[in-house]
Structure 1
Amino acid sequence: MKQVTFDDIYILGNIVTENDLYRHYHYPEMLIRYDSNFIEFKKQPSLTELKEAEKYLREFHLRYGQKHVKFCFPANSRIEGELEDYLNKSGYENGFLELYAIHPDQFSAVEDQPDIDIQVVTDDNFETYLSLQYQQDLAFGSEFAEAKIDLAKRQFKEEARIIRVLAFYKGTPAGYVDVITTDKTAEIDNLTVDEAFQKKGIGSRLQKFVMDNYPDKAVILVADGEDTVREMYRKQNYQYLGFQNEVQKI
Protein backbone atom coordinates (compact mmCIF):
# COMPACT_ATOMS: atom_id res chain seq x y z
CA MET A 1 0.00 0.00 0.00
CA LYS A 2 1.20 3.49 -0.80
CA GLN A 3 2.37 5.55 2.16
CA VAL A 4 -0.61 7.35 3.72
CA THR A 5 -0.54 10.07 6.39
CA PHE A 6 -2.96 12.60 7.85
CA ASP A 7 -1.81 14.95 5.08
CA ASP A 8 -3.81 12.77 2.66
CA ILE A 9 -7.07 13.48 4.52
CA TYR A 10 -9.32 16.03 2.82
CA ILE A 11 -9.80 19.29 4.73
CA LEU A 12 -12.71 21.50 3.76
CA GLY A 13 -11.34 25.00 4.20
CA ASN A 14 -8.95 27.60 2.86
CA ILE A 15 -5.48 28.21 4.26
CA VAL A 16 -5.55 31.90 5.17
CA THR A 17 -2.31 31.98 7.18
CA GLU A 18 0.69 29.65 7.08
CA ASN A 19 4.05 29.88 8.77
CA ASP A 20 6.70 27.51 10.11
CA LEU A 21 4.52 26.64 13.11
CA TYR A 22 0.98 26.19 11.78
CA ARG A 23 -1.64 26.40 9.05
CA HIS A 24 -4.82 28.35 9.73
CA TYR A 25 -7.89 26.96 7.92
CA HIS A 26 -10.95 29.13 7.42
CA TYR A 27 -14.20 28.40 5.56
CA PRO A 28 -16.47 31.46 5.48
CA GLU A 29 -19.25 29.52 3.75
CA MET A 30 -19.77 27.44 6.91
CA LEU A 31 -18.45 29.26 9.95
CA ILE A 32 -20.11 26.88 12.42
CA ARG A 33 -18.20 23.87 11.10
CA TYR A 34 -15.34 23.56 13.58
CA ASP A 35 -13.50 21.04 11.37
CA SER A 36 -13.18 23.74 8.70
CA ASN A 37 -12.15 26.62 10.96
CA PHE A 38 -9.09 25.82 13.06
CA ILE A 39 -5.32 25.93 13.40
CA GLU A 40 -3.24 22.86 12.59
CA PHE A 41 0.21 22.83 14.14
CA LYS A 42 3.03 21.53 11.94
CA LYS A 43 5.19 20.90 15.00
CA GLN A 44 4.46 20.71 18.69
CA PRO A 45 4.20 24.29 20.00
CA SER A 46 5.73 25.62 23.17
CA LEU A 47 3.29 27.01 25.73
CA THR A 48 4.18 30.56 24.65
CA GLU A 49 3.58 29.67 20.99
CA LEU A 50 0.24 28.07 21.83
CA LYS A 51 -0.91 31.14 23.74
CA GLU A 52 0.09 33.42 20.86
CA ALA A 53 -1.78 31.22 18.36
CA GLU A 54 -4.76 31.11 20.71
CA LYS A 55 -4.90 34.91 20.94
CA TYR A 56 -4.61 35.25 17.15
CA LEU A 57 -7.32 32.67 16.42
CA ARG A 58 -9.74 34.02 19.05
CA GLU A 59 -9.45 37.55 17.66
CA PHE A 60 -9.81 36.29 14.08
CA HIS A 61 -12.91 34.26 14.89
CA LEU A 62 -14.56 37.06 16.85
CA ARG A 63 -14.38 39.25 13.75
CA TYR A 64 -16.56 36.68 11.99
CA GLY A 65 -18.89 36.07 14.91
CA GLN A 66 -17.39 32.64 15.61
CA LYS A 67 -17.46 31.52 19.21
CA HIS A 68 -14.96 28.67 19.18
CA VAL A 69 -11.26 28.01 18.96
CA LYS A 70 -9.86 24.69 17.79
CA PHE A 71 -6.34 23.31 17.44
CA CYS A 72 -5.02 20.13 15.84
CA PHE A 73 -1.59 18.89 16.86
CA PRO A 74 1.05 17.01 14.85
CA ALA A 75 0.33 13.36 14.13
CA ASN A 76 1.48 10.88 16.76
CA SER A 77 2.55 13.64 19.18
CA ARG A 78 0.99 13.53 22.63
CA ILE A 79 0.00 16.66 24.54
CA GLU A 80 1.94 16.54 27.78
CA GLY A 81 3.46 18.66 30.53
CA GLU A 82 2.69 22.36 30.70
CA LEU A 83 0.72 22.24 27.43
CA GLU A 84 -1.63 19.63 28.85
CA ASP A 85 -1.96 21.50 32.15
CA TYR A 86 -2.78 24.79 30.43
CA LEU A 87 -5.36 23.31 28.08
CA ASN A 88 -7.11 21.44 30.87
CA LYS A 89 -7.19 24.46 33.17
CA SER A 90 -8.44 26.66 30.31
CA GLY A 91 -11.49 24.48 29.72
CA TYR A 92 -10.57 22.85 26.41
CA GLU A 93 -12.26 19.62 25.36
CA ASN A 94 -9.69 17.00 24.37
CA GLY A 95 -10.11 14.38 21.69
CA PHE A 96 -8.17 12.46 19.11
CA LEU A 97 -8.59 10.98 15.66
CA GLU A 98 -7.24 7.69 14.35
CA LEU A 99 -6.10 7.16 10.76
CA TYR A 100 -6.92 3.90 8.98
CA ALA A 101 -6.18 2.57 5.51
CA ILE A 102 -6.80 -0.62 3.59
CA HIS A 103 -6.12 -2.02 0.16
CA PRO A 104 -9.52 -2.99 -1.30
CA ASP A 105 -8.59 -6.64 -1.79
CA GLN A 106 -7.95 -6.94 1.96
CA PHE A 107 -11.46 -5.89 2.97
CA SER A 108 -13.31 -8.61 4.86
CA ALA A 109 -15.91 -10.56 2.93
CA VAL A 110 -19.41 -9.10 2.74
CA GLU A 111 -22.40 -11.22 1.81
CA ASP A 112 -24.76 -9.95 -0.86
CA GLN A 113 -28.12 -8.99 0.58
CA PRO A 114 -31.03 -8.52 -1.82
CA ASP A 115 -32.76 -6.18 0.63
CA ILE A 116 -29.93 -3.62 0.31
CA ASP A 117 -29.64 -1.51 -2.83
CA ILE A 118 -26.59 0.75 -3.30
CA GLN A 119 -26.88 3.73 -5.67
CA VAL A 120 -24.55 6.52 -6.72
CA VAL A 121 -26.18 9.89 -6.07
CA THR A 122 -27.26 11.63 -9.27
CA ASP A 123 -29.69 14.39 -10.13
CA ASP A 124 -32.48 11.81 -9.89
CA ASN A 125 -31.91 10.87 -6.23
CA PHE A 126 -30.01 13.89 -4.89
CA GLU A 127 -33.04 15.20 -3.00
CA THR A 128 -33.40 11.82 -1.29
CA TYR A 129 -29.78 12.05 -0.16
CA LEU A 130 -30.31 15.60 1.12
CA SER A 131 -33.43 14.65 3.05
CA LEU A 132 -31.76 11.70 4.76
CA GLN A 133 -28.64 13.72 5.59
CA TYR A 134 -30.77 16.56 7.01
CA GLN A 135 -32.61 14.19 9.34
CA GLN A 136 -29.32 12.76 10.62
CA ASP A 137 -27.72 16.20 11.12
CA LEU A 138 -30.66 17.58 13.12
CA ALA A 139 -29.02 15.97 16.14
CA PHE A 140 -26.49 18.82 15.94
CA GLY A 141 -29.12 21.54 15.54
CA SER A 142 -31.19 22.88 12.66
CA GLU A 143 -28.67 25.60 11.82
CA PHE A 144 -25.94 23.03 11.30
CA ALA A 145 -28.24 20.69 9.36
CA GLU A 146 -29.31 23.48 7.01
CA ALA A 147 -25.71 24.57 6.50
CA LYS A 148 -24.78 20.99 5.60
CA ILE A 149 -27.51 21.00 2.95
CA ASP A 150 -26.07 24.17 1.40
CA LEU A 151 -22.59 22.64 1.50
CA ALA A 152 -23.76 19.44 -0.20
CA LYS A 153 -25.45 21.44 -2.96
CA ARG A 154 -22.28 23.47 -3.61
CA GLN A 155 -20.07 20.41 -3.67
CA PHE A 156 -22.49 18.48 -5.88
CA LYS A 157 -22.08 21.16 -8.54
CA GLU A 158 -18.41 22.03 -8.06
CA GLU A 159 -16.52 19.03 -6.61
CA ALA A 160 -16.30 16.23 -9.17
CA ARG A 161 -13.92 14.26 -6.97
CA ILE A 162 -16.57 13.84 -4.25
CA ILE A 163 -18.88 10.93 -5.01
CA ARG A 164 -21.99 10.42 -2.89
CA VAL A 165 -23.52 7.00 -2.40
CA LEU A 166 -26.95 6.06 -1.02
CA ALA A 167 -28.10 2.79 0.54
CA PHE A 168 -31.74 1.68 0.47
CA TYR A 169 -33.15 -1.08 2.65
CA LYS A 170 -36.24 -2.67 1.12
CA GLY A 171 -36.72 0.54 -0.85
CA THR A 172 -36.33 2.95 2.10
CA PRO A 173 -33.35 5.35 2.28
CA ALA A 174 -31.20 3.97 5.10
CA GLY A 175 -27.65 5.24 4.84
CA TYR A 176 -25.03 7.07 2.82
CA VAL A 177 -21.34 7.73 2.42
CA ASP A 178 -19.22 10.36 0.68
CA VAL A 179 -16.13 9.22 -1.22
CA ILE A 180 -13.37 11.78 -1.79
CA THR A 181 -10.99 10.67 -4.52
CA THR A 182 -7.42 11.58 -5.42
CA ASP A 183 -4.87 9.94 -7.70
CA LYS A 184 -3.83 7.51 -4.98
CA THR A 185 -6.65 7.42 -2.42
CA ALA A 186 -10.39 7.02 -1.98
CA GLU A 187 -11.39 8.55 1.35
CA ILE A 188 -14.50 7.33 3.14
CA ASP A 189 -16.23 10.28 4.81
CA ASN A 190 -19.60 10.96 6.40
CA LEU A 191 -20.45 7.25 6.62
CA THR A 192 -23.91 7.19 8.20
CA VAL A 193 -26.61 4.57 8.76
CA ASP A 194 -29.99 5.59 10.11
CA GLU A 195 -30.52 4.23 13.61
CA ALA A 196 -33.62 2.30 12.54
CA PHE A 197 -31.55 0.31 10.01
CA GLN A 198 -28.37 -0.39 11.92
CA LYS A 199 -26.92 -3.89 12.35
CA LYS A 200 -28.26 -4.98 8.98
CA GLY A 201 -24.93 -4.83 7.14
CA ILE A 202 -25.63 -1.49 5.44
CA GLY A 203 -22.42 0.17 6.57
CA SER A 204 -20.38 -2.77 5.31
CA ARG A 205 -22.17 -2.76 1.97
CA LEU A 206 -21.46 0.95 1.53
CA GLN A 207 -17.79 0.30 2.21
CA LYS A 208 -17.80 -2.68 -0.14
CA PHE A 209 -19.07 -0.39 -2.89
CA VAL A 210 -15.99 1.79 -2.37
CA MET A 211 -13.67 -1.23 -2.45
CA ASP A 212 -15.23 -2.55 -5.65
CA ASN A 213 -15.15 0.78 -7.47
CA TYR A 214 -11.65 1.90 -6.48
CA PRO A 215 -9.62 -1.33 -6.53
CA ASP A 216 -6.32 0.39 -7.33
CA LYS A 217 -6.48 3.07 -4.63
CA ALA A 218 -5.73 3.02 -0.93
CA VAL A 219 -9.06 3.39 0.87
CA ILE A 220 -8.58 5.68 3.86
CA LEU A 221 -10.65 7.15 6.68
CA VAL A 222 -10.35 8.86 10.05
CA ALA A 223 -12.31 7.70 13.08
CA ASP A 224 -13.04 9.39 16.37
CA GLY A 225 -10.59 7.79 18.77
CA GLU A 226 -13.31 7.51 21.41
CA ASP A 227 -15.93 5.96 19.11
CA THR A 228 -16.48 2.22 19.22
CA VAL A 229 -16.94 2.11 15.42
CA ARG A 230 -13.16 2.07 15.05
CA GLU A 231 -13.22 -1.47 16.43
CA MET A 232 -15.33 -2.43 13.43
CA TYR A 233 -12.70 -1.03 11.08
CA ARG A 234 -10.00 -3.12 12.71
CA LYS A 235 -12.13 -6.26 12.32
CA GLN A 236 -12.65 -5.41 8.66
CA ASN A 237 -8.84 -5.49 8.19
CA TYR A 238 -8.14 -1.76 8.06
CA GLN A 239 -4.60 -0.91 9.10
CA TYR A 240 -4.15 1.56 11.94
CA LEU A 241 -1.64 4.24 10.90
CA GLY A 242 -1.57 6.71 13.76
CA PHE A 243 -3.42 9.33 15.78
CA GLN A 244 -3.84 13.08 15.94
CA ASN A 245 -4.82 15.04 19.05
CA GLU A 246 -7.24 17.95 18.80
CA VAL A 247 -8.71 20.37 21.33
CA GLN A 248 -11.51 22.90 21.16
CA LYS A 249 -13.29 25.38 23.34
CA ILE A 250 -16.47 27.41 22.90
Structure 2
Amino acid sequence: MKQISFEDIYTLGKVVAENNVYKQFHYPEMLVRYDSNFIEFKELPSLPEFKPVEKYLREYHQKNGQKHVKFYFPANKKPTTELNAYLEDRGYEIGFIELYAIQPKHFPKLVNNPDIEIKEVTEENVETCLHLQYQHDLEYGSEFANQKKDLIKRQFEDPNILQILAYYKGNPAGYVDIIISNETAEIDNLSVEEKYRNKGIGSKLQNYVMETFPQKTVILIADGEDTPREMYKKQNYQYCGFKYGVQKVYQD
Protein backbone atom coordinates (compact mmCIF):
# COMPACT_ATOMS: atom_id res chain seq x y z
CA MET A 1 0.00 0.00 0.00
CA LYS A 2 1.33 3.43 -0.92
CA GLN A 3 2.25 5.69 1.96
CA ILE A 4 -0.96 7.59 2.68
CA SER A 5 -0.96 11.08 4.19
CA PHE A 6 -3.42 13.93 4.56
CA GLU A 7 -2.02 15.29 1.28
CA ASP A 8 -4.01 12.52 -0.44
CA ILE A 9 -7.32 13.84 0.93
CA TYR A 10 -9.46 15.89 -1.44
CA THR A 11 -10.11 19.49 -0.38
CA LEU A 12 -13.03 21.34 -1.93
CA GLY A 13 -11.75 24.88 -2.27
CA LYS A 14 -9.20 27.05 -4.03
CA VAL A 15 -5.84 28.05 -2.58
CA VAL A 16 -6.08 31.85 -2.44
CA ALA A 17 -2.99 32.54 -0.32
CA GLU A 18 0.14 30.61 0.57
CA ASN A 19 3.42 31.42 2.30
CA ASN A 20 5.96 29.66 4.50
CA VAL A 21 3.55 29.64 7.43
CA TYR A 22 0.19 28.55 6.04
CA LYS A 23 -2.04 27.77 3.09
CA GLN A 24 -5.48 29.38 2.80
CA PHE A 25 -8.45 27.65 1.15
CA HIS A 26 -11.52 29.54 -0.02
CA TYR A 27 -14.65 28.36 -1.84
CA PRO A 28 -16.87 31.31 -2.86
CA GLU A 29 -19.55 28.96 -4.23
CA MET A 30 -20.28 27.77 -0.67
CA LEU A 31 -19.08 30.26 1.91
CA VAL A 32 -20.91 28.50 4.78
CA ARG A 33 -18.98 25.25 4.30
CA TYR A 34 -16.31 25.49 6.99
CA ASP A 35 -14.21 22.64 5.54
CA SER A 36 -13.80 24.62 2.32
CA ASN A 37 -12.92 27.98 3.91
CA PHE A 38 -10.02 27.70 6.33
CA ILE A 39 -6.31 28.12 6.92
CA GLU A 40 -3.95 25.16 7.25
CA PHE A 41 -0.69 25.75 9.08
CA LYS A 42 2.46 24.18 7.65
CA GLU A 43 4.24 24.20 11.00
CA LEU A 44 2.72 24.23 14.46
CA PRO A 45 2.42 27.92 15.39
CA SER A 46 3.25 29.45 18.74
CA LEU A 47 0.59 31.69 20.25
CA PRO A 48 2.33 34.89 19.03
CA GLU A 49 2.48 33.36 15.53
CA PHE A 50 -1.18 32.28 15.61
CA LYS A 51 -2.74 35.59 16.62
CA PRO A 52 -1.95 37.66 13.48
CA VAL A 53 -3.11 34.80 11.22
CA GLU A 54 -6.32 34.56 13.25
CA LYS A 55 -6.87 38.31 12.81
CA TYR A 56 -6.18 38.09 9.08
CA LEU A 57 -8.67 35.25 8.48
CA ARG A 58 -11.36 36.89 10.59
CA GLU A 59 -11.08 40.09 8.54
CA TYR A 60 -10.92 38.19 5.25
CA HIS A 61 -14.08 36.24 6.09
CA GLN A 62 -15.89 39.34 7.36
CA LYS A 63 -15.36 40.99 3.97
CA ASN A 64 -17.10 37.99 2.40
CA GLY A 65 -19.96 37.96 4.90
CA GLN A 66 -18.63 34.84 6.64
CA LYS A 67 -19.10 34.47 10.38
CA HIS A 68 -16.59 31.70 11.08
CA VAL A 69 -12.88 31.06 11.23
CA LYS A 70 -11.32 27.62 10.98
CA PHE A 71 -7.75 26.41 11.26
CA TYR A 72 -6.00 23.07 10.81
CA PHE A 73 -2.65 22.32 12.40
CA PRO A 74 0.03 20.04 10.87
CA ALA A 75 -0.61 16.30 10.87
CA ASN A 76 0.32 14.36 14.00
CA LYS A 77 1.02 17.46 16.10
CA LYS A 78 -1.05 18.72 19.02
CA PRO A 79 -1.47 22.44 19.82
CA THR A 80 0.85 23.65 22.57
CA THR A 81 -0.55 24.04 26.08
CA GLU A 82 -0.41 27.83 25.73
CA LEU A 83 -2.18 27.84 22.37
CA ASN A 84 -4.78 25.36 23.54
CA ALA A 85 -5.57 27.49 26.60
CA TYR A 86 -5.98 30.57 24.39
CA LEU A 87 -8.31 28.73 22.01
CA GLU A 88 -10.45 27.42 24.85
CA ASP A 89 -10.63 30.88 26.42
CA ARG A 90 -11.70 32.37 23.08
CA GLY A 91 -14.53 29.86 22.71
CA TYR A 92 -13.11 27.71 19.89
CA GLU A 93 -14.37 24.21 19.21
CA ILE A 94 -11.30 21.96 19.35
CA GLY A 95 -11.25 18.51 17.78
CA PHE A 96 -9.24 16.17 15.61
CA ILE A 97 -9.75 13.98 12.60
CA GLU A 98 -8.14 10.64 11.79
CA LEU A 99 -6.98 9.24 8.47
CA TYR A 100 -7.62 5.60 7.52
CA ALA A 101 -6.68 3.49 4.49
CA ILE A 102 -7.31 -0.04 3.25
CA GLN A 103 -6.53 -2.27 0.33
CA PRO A 104 -9.92 -3.45 -1.05
CA LYS A 105 -8.92 -7.13 -0.81
CA HIS A 106 -8.65 -6.73 2.98
CA PHE A 107 -12.23 -5.49 3.43
CA PRO A 108 -14.35 -8.18 5.17
CA LYS A 109 -16.56 -10.30 2.95
CA LEU A 110 -20.26 -9.48 3.34
CA VAL A 111 -23.21 -11.83 3.49
CA ASN A 112 -25.51 -10.97 0.60
CA ASN A 113 -28.63 -9.09 1.70
CA PRO A 114 -31.22 -8.87 -1.11
CA ASP A 115 -33.02 -6.06 0.77
CA ILE A 116 -30.11 -3.69 0.04
CA GLU A 117 -29.52 -2.37 -3.47
CA ILE A 118 -26.68 -0.06 -4.49
CA LYS A 119 -26.99 2.23 -7.52
CA GLU A 120 -24.85 4.93 -9.08
CA VAL A 121 -26.52 8.34 -9.26
CA THR A 122 -27.73 9.05 -12.79
CA GLU A 123 -30.10 11.50 -14.46
CA GLU A 124 -32.92 9.12 -13.51
CA ASN A 125 -32.32 9.17 -9.74
CA VAL A 126 -30.35 12.38 -9.09
CA GLU A 127 -33.47 14.09 -7.69
CA THR A 128 -33.77 11.26 -5.15
CA CYS A 129 -30.17 11.88 -4.11
CA LEU A 130 -30.78 15.63 -3.83
CA HIS A 131 -33.90 15.19 -1.71
CA LEU A 132 -32.31 12.67 0.64
CA GLN A 133 -29.26 14.82 1.30
CA TYR A 134 -31.34 18.00 1.59
CA GLN A 135 -33.32 16.49 4.46
CA HIS A 136 -30.09 15.60 6.25
CA ASP A 137 -28.47 18.98 5.60
CA LEU A 138 -31.39 20.96 7.04
CA GLU A 139 -29.83 20.11 10.41
CA TYR A 140 -27.26 22.81 9.58
CA GLY A 141 -29.83 25.37 8.39
CA SER A 142 -31.68 26.05 5.16
CA GLU A 143 -28.91 28.25 3.75
CA PHE A 144 -26.40 25.42 4.08
CA ALA A 145 -28.87 22.85 2.72
CA ASN A 146 -29.66 24.94 -0.37
CA GLN A 147 -26.00 25.66 -1.12
CA LYS A 148 -25.19 21.98 -0.61
CA LYS A 149 -27.88 21.10 -3.14
CA ASP A 150 -26.10 23.25 -5.73
CA LEU A 151 -22.79 21.63 -4.77
CA ILE A 152 -24.21 18.13 -5.32
CA LYS A 153 -25.34 19.20 -8.80
CA ARG A 154 -21.86 20.49 -9.63
CA GLN A 155 -20.24 17.31 -8.34
CA PHE A 156 -22.68 15.23 -10.38
CA GLU A 157 -20.98 16.71 -13.46
CA ASP A 158 -17.46 16.03 -12.14
CA PRO A 159 -15.94 12.89 -13.76
CA ASN A 160 -13.68 12.38 -10.73
CA ILE A 161 -16.57 12.14 -8.27
CA LEU A 162 -18.91 9.15 -8.27
CA GLN A 163 -22.15 9.55 -6.31
CA ILE A 164 -23.80 6.39 -4.96
CA LEU A 165 -27.25 5.69 -3.50
CA ALA A 166 -28.34 2.81 -1.28
CA TYR A 167 -31.90 1.51 -1.20
CA TYR A 168 -33.46 -0.66 1.49
CA LYS A 169 -36.50 -2.63 0.30
CA GLY A 170 -36.83 -0.10 -2.49
CA ASN A 171 -36.61 2.99 -0.26
CA PRO A 172 -33.72 5.50 -0.48
CA ALA A 173 -31.68 4.79 2.63
CA GLY A 174 -28.15 6.18 2.29
CA TYR A 175 -25.47 7.63 0.07
CA VAL A 176 -21.75 8.07 -0.39
CA ASP A 177 -19.42 10.02 -2.66
CA ILE A 178 -16.30 8.42 -4.12
CA ILE A 179 -13.50 10.84 -5.00
CA ILE A 180 -11.27 9.22 -7.60
CA SER A 181 -7.58 9.94 -8.12
CA ASN A 182 -4.76 8.03 -9.82
CA GLU A 183 -3.92 5.87 -6.82
CA THR A 184 -6.76 6.34 -4.34
CA ALA A 185 -10.54 6.18 -4.05
CA GLU A 186 -11.72 8.37 -1.19
CA ILE A 187 -14.93 7.61 0.70
CA ASP A 188 -16.65 10.89 1.51
CA ASN A 189 -20.06 12.09 2.69
CA LEU A 190 -21.14 8.60 3.80
CA SER A 191 -24.54 8.68 5.50
CA VAL A 192 -27.38 6.29 6.27
CA GLU A 193 -30.93 7.31 7.21
CA GLU A 194 -31.41 6.88 10.95
CA LYS A 195 -34.34 4.47 10.59
CA TYR A 196 -32.27 2.21 8.33
CA ARG A 197 -29.13 2.05 10.44
CA ASN A 198 -27.65 -1.19 11.83
CA LYS A 199 -28.84 -3.12 8.78
CA GLY A 200 -25.48 -3.29 7.00
CA ILE A 201 -26.13 -0.44 4.57
CA GLY A 202 -22.98 1.49 5.44
CA SER A 203 -20.86 -1.62 4.95
CA LYS A 204 -22.61 -2.35 1.66
CA LEU A 205 -21.82 1.15 0.39
CA GLN A 206 -18.17 0.70 1.34
CA ASN A 207 -18.09 -2.73 -0.26
CA TYR A 208 -19.28 -1.16 -3.51
CA VAL A 209 -16.22 1.10 -3.42
CA MET A 210 -13.95 -1.90 -2.84
CA GLU A 211 -15.45 -3.85 -5.74
CA THR A 212 -15.45 -0.87 -8.11
CA PHE A 213 -11.84 0.17 -7.42
CA PRO A 214 -9.98 -3.05 -6.46
CA GLN A 215 -6.59 -1.73 -7.61
CA LYS A 216 -6.72 1.54 -5.67
CA THR A 217 -6.06 2.31 -2.02
CA VAL A 218 -9.34 3.27 -0.40
CA ILE A 219 -9.04 6.15 2.08
CA LEU A 220 -11.35 8.09 4.38
CA ILE A 221 -11.43 10.66 7.17
CA ALA A 222 -13.12 9.92 10.51
CA ASP A 223 -13.97 12.24 13.38
CA GLY A 224 -11.42 11.41 16.07
CA GLU A 225 -14.11 11.43 18.77
CA ASP A 226 -16.89 9.66 16.84
CA THR A 227 -17.98 6.02 16.94
CA PRO A 228 -17.59 5.06 13.23
CA ARG A 229 -13.82 5.03 13.66
CA GLU A 230 -14.16 1.90 15.78
CA MET A 231 -16.12 0.27 12.97
CA TYR A 232 -13.38 1.14 10.47
CA LYS A 233 -10.78 -0.56 12.63
CA LYS A 234 -12.89 -3.71 12.78
CA GLN A 235 -13.18 -3.59 8.99
CA ASN A 236 -9.36 -3.76 8.67
CA TYR A 237 -8.70 -0.12 7.82
CA GLN A 238 -5.21 1.00 8.83
CA TYR A 239 -4.75 4.11 10.96
CA CYS A 240 -2.53 6.66 9.17
CA GLY A 241 -2.45 9.65 11.50
CA PHE A 242 -4.39 12.51 13.04
CA LYS A 243 -4.84 16.23 12.52
CA TYR A 244 -6.16 18.84 14.96
CA GLY A 245 -8.63 21.45 13.80
CA VAL A 246 -10.28 24.38 15.57
CA GLN A 247 -13.19 26.60 14.59
CA LYS A 248 -15.21 29.46 15.96
CA VAL A 249 -18.50 30.96 14.81
CA TYR A 250 -19.08 34.61 15.64
CA GLN A 251 -22.53 36.02 16.35
CA ASP A 252 -21.95 39.29 14.49
Q: Which stretches in structure 1 are left out of the alignment for 5+ residues? A: none
Q: Kindly provide the CA deviation profile for residues 30-84 of structure 1, in whole angstroms up to 9, marking residues without a partner as x.
A: 0000000000011111211100100100000000010111100000001122111
Q: C-alpha distance in 1, partners of 2:135/2:54?
A: 35
Match of 2:166 in 1: 167
Matched residue pairs, number?
A: 249
Write the mapping of 1:136-147 to structure 2, written as runs, cut at 5 A.
Answer: 136-147=136-147
Write the mapping of 1:1-250 to structure 2, written as runs, cut at 5 A.
Answer: 1-157=1-157, 159-250=158-249
8 Å contact kept, 2:46–2:80: no
Alignment-mate amino acid for residue 220 of structure 1: I
Q: C-alpha distance in 2, partners of 1:73/1:230?
A: 21
- State the SS of the aligned residue for 1:123: coil
Alignment-mate amino acid for residue 165 of structure 2: L
Q: C-alpha distance in 2, partners of 1:141/1:65?
A: 16
Alignment-mate amino acid for residue 57 of structure 2: L
Alignment-mate amino acid for residue 149 of structure 2: I
Q: Kindly provide the CA deviation profile for residues 90-128 of structure 1, in whole angstroms up to 9, marking residues without a partner as x.
A: 111101000000000000121111011100111111111
Alignment-mate amino acid for residue 121 of structure 1: V
Q: C-alpha distance in 2, partners of 1:216/1:206?
A: 17
RMSD (Å) for aligned C-alpha atoms = 0.7
| Structure 1 stretches of at least 4 aligned residues deviating more than 3 Å after TM superposition | none
Alignment-mate amino acid for residue 46 of structure 2: S
**Taking structure 1 as the reference length, what is the TM-score of the superposition?**
0.98
1:17 Cα deviation from its structure 2 partner: 0.2
- State the SS of the aligned residue for 2:4: coil
Alignment-mate amino acid for residue 234 of structure 1: K
1:178 Cα deviation from its structure 2 partner: 0.2
Q: C-alpha distance in 2, partners of 1:198/1:54?
A: 40
- State the SS of the aligned residue for 1:196: helix
Q: C-alpha distance in 2, partners of 1:204/1:89?
A: 40
Indicate the larger mover: 137-146 or 7-16.
Answer: 137-146
- State the SS of the aligned residue for 1:4: coil
Q: C-alpha distance in 2, partners of 1:155/1:117?
A: 22
Alignment-mate amino acid for residue 164 of structure 1: Q
Q: C-alpha distance in 2, partners of 1:198/1:191?
A: 12
Q: C-alpha distance in 2, partners of 1:146/1:131?
A: 11
**Taking structure 2 as the reference length, what is the TM-score of the superposition?**
0.97
Alignment-mate amino acid for residue 61 of structure 2: H
1:236 Cα deviation from its structure 2 partner: 0.4
